[in-house]
A and B are shown apart, each in its own frame.
Chain A
Amino acid sequence: MSDFSGLIAILRKDILIEFRTRQALISMTLFALLTVLLLAFAFEPTREETALIGPGLLWVAFAFAGTIGLEHTLSTEREEGGLEALLLAPLDRSTIYFAKLIANVIFMTVAEFLTIPVFVVFYNMNLIPFLGPLLLLNLLGTIGFCAVGTLLSVITAQTKLRGVLLPIILFPMIVPILLAAVEGTGALFRGDSPVGAFRLLIVYDIVFVVGGFLTFGFVVEE
């Protein structure tokens, strides 16, 4: 089996499982929505304030939801030794990493795209003029988040505390991505140019994806 068809096979399996159970998507989206709701109650922002705190608020919701998603994709593999079976397949370890990364990015992006319309309604924001750049920015931020997250979730899953430790190491690691994504979204909300944020996010994505690709082989070995 070539690496590419192996990647497609793993991806197909993950998407099929998700399509049938919808566990990850439902819990991630609901969690993101609830975070948006709670923060709306906590701050009761006016329209001007929303433009100011909205980007940070959205990304806090995404980060929380993403953490849940990362834990979920791994816990399904853990049941009945799914990961071991996957490692026995005649595939390069990096193929498994990329398949998991892409699956995580897809789930998290869908959850984000379901959260954004609700954010628009709750906070009376008009995002239509810059919807294209906003979605692209989300995608870039999500790739970086999942590149680190996929690697770290496999590490923390092997500790006695399982998923509990994931946010503790994941959140300090994603500070640069979060900052760039929040600043980029903020620039869009204010009508400024988000080019700087895009450039930084692309650099981070490359660094984290390459880092994950190089070290993933070590974290899944037995």
Chain B
Amino acid sequence: MDRNRAIIDSLLLLLTGAAMAVNLWLIFYFAPLERTMGLIQKIFYFHVPSAWVAFLAFFITFLMSIGYLASRRDWFDRAASSSASIGTVFCTIVLVTGPIWARPVWGIWWTWDARLTSTLVLWFIYVAYLLIRSYLPASGTKRGTLSAVVGIIGFLNVPLVYMSIRWWRTQHPQPVIAGGEGSGLEPRMKLAFFFSLAVFTLLYAVILRYRMRQSFIDGRVEKLLEERRRS
């Protein structure tokens, strides 16, 4: 069984590595240069897929948290927390690449727009989730239960944040920001974009697989330490 897993692992890594290389080629050579924004537009192929992965990861955390509260199976807790940590990393990438793109294109690093603000709030919520989790006792069900509650209400909070900022913005009109990027994308750009989206999703799945395995090993180490402390 271990041998089968090793084969699947190497195949997955090979596939992901190759797909990422192809992705870079598609982004930098295949997709044409955007007319007004130029090279800086390339960041879009990293920024949007990272955002998609972050939201997907937090959504998985939300689902797994519900699963944990319903079943109390350790697996759900480890899936939820692993996904949350990956989501936080990708959310950080979104928050870093966004301003790098915005500075030359919008002329400002940051604006308190609904999407930007809710992403930032999301980042804070999941950093807090990971922090709270790290200060809870690993033995017993307490860590899993409390993390699950934070994972659920944290995710439910996001649409409320989005709604309130949109409402706030309609009260205070701001300068119009660049229109929807998805509208009328050049076919080669579209291909590169959707390929990138798929590659990032694959990357997420692969990291999740390793992160969960690591989490189970963590659990085993904690258990051994616990036994040693008792004896």
**B-contacting residues of A (Cβ < 8 Å)?**
148, 151-152, 155-156, 158-161, 165, 168-169, 171-173, 175-176, 179-180, 183, 196, 200, 204, 207, 211, 215, 218-219, 221
Contacts and interface: CB of A to CB of B under 8 A. Distances in A.
Nearest to B153: A211
A172 B164 contact: no
22 contacts: A151-B153, A152-B150, A158-B142, A159-B132, A159-B135, A160-B135, A168-B124, A169-B128, A171-B124, A172-B157, A173-B153, A175-B117, A175-B157, A176-B157, A183-B168, A204-B160, A204-B164, A211-B156, A215-B149, A218-B146, A218-B149, A221-B145
A204 B159 CA distance: 11
Interface residues of B, number: 31
Contact of A165 (B131, B154, B156): B131
B136 A158 contact: yes
B168 A219 contact: no
Interface string B69-113: 100000000000000000000000000000000000000000000
A165 B150 CA distance: 13
A165 B128 contact: yes
Interface string B3-19: 00000000000000000
B165 A161 contact: no
- Interface of A, helix, strand, loop or mixed by DSSP: helix
A180 B166 CA distance: 11
Interface of B: 69, 117, 121, 124-125, 127-129, 131-132, 135-136, 142, 145-146, 148-150, 152-154, 156-157, 160-161, 163-165, 167-168, 171
A175 B114 CA distance: 12
A180 B156 CA distance: 17
A172 B163 CA distance: 15
Given A200-B164, A200-B167, A218-B145, A172 B132 contact: no
A32 B142 CA distance: 34
Contacts of A171: 124
A156 B131 CA distance: 10
Given A161-B135, A165-B128, A165-B131, A151 B149 contact: yes
B132 A176 contact: no
A165 B125 contact: no
Interface centre among A165, A169, A207, A211 (most CB of B within 10 A): A169
A183 B124 contact: no
B118 to A, nearest CB: 9
Given A160-B136, A171-B124, A219-B145, 20 more contacts: A148-B153, A155-B132, A156-B132, A159-B135, A160-B135, A168-B124, A168-B128, A169-B129, A169-B154, A172-B157, A173-B153, A173-B157, A175-B164, A179-B164, A180-B164, A200-B164, A200-B167, A207-B160, A215-B153, A219-B146
